[in-house]
Chain A
Amino acid sequence: GENVEQHPSTLSVQEGDSAVIKCTYSDSASNYFPWYKQELGKRPQLIIDIRSNVGEKKDQRIAVTLNKTAKHFSLHITETQPEDSAVYFCAASGRDDKIIFGKGTRLHILP
């Protein structure tokens, strides 16, 4: 089955700087890659997703890139703000339609 690796587990960046979170997946048949943000005690919320027929997608300060050949995808957050502090999960979905999550990255935005 699919296996998703996510790095780093913890990331601290100065407010206003950029944050990058990287993930790799194992199943070459995976074709859908969502990113979720989870604040303490709350449900995960979708922030952006990308499908395998696209290499990059951007939504305001958030962008995601996908390299199918290397089987890795990344989340980029620019001009970080205090409200960006949360846990971010990457995920991959493939032939069996399940969505498998990475272990998460705890992002701290420093004032």
Chain B
Amino acid sequence: GAVVSQHPSWVICKSGTSVKIECRSLDFQATTMFWYRQFPKQSLMLMATSNEGSKATYEQGVEKDKFLINHASLTLSTLTVTSAHPEDSSFYICSARAGRSRSPLHFGNGTRLTVT
């Protein structure tokens, strides 16, 4: 149980284009999902908290107009990287909790974004 599916697993795009990443909880409902970014050999940096039916909460330093998050249903959150630049190239991972607070996060497989 508690499976999180993330698509695509990798994507290459040109500078200036936008890329959408989907995160789905397959066998549970997630009112809250979390989006992380991971650079090579570095930690998971929380970008934003995605809340079903309301606006996402962004961490300090994360541009909300660049990283658009939509959480339209209890099983789907999307992250859109708008007007992508090479410095946006990274590994993006979504996660969700199957239960209330003090329960584990379950991670998607991640999306490796390369902007050329």
Contact = CB atoms under 8 A, between A and B. Distances in A.
Contacts of A44: 44, 93, 107
Interface residues of A, dominant DSSP: strand
Interface string B75-110: 000000000000000000101000001111111111
Interface residues of B, number: 22
Contacts of B95: 99
Interface string A47-84: 00101000000000000000000000000000000000
Interface residues of A, number: 21
Given A32-B103, A93-B102, A97-B32, 7 more contacts: A44-B107, A98-B34, A98-B46, A99-B34, A99-B46, A101-B36, A101-B45
Interface of A: 31-32, 34, 42-46, 49, 51, 89, 93, 97-104, 106
Interface of B: 32, 34, 36, 41-46, 49, 93, 95, 101-110
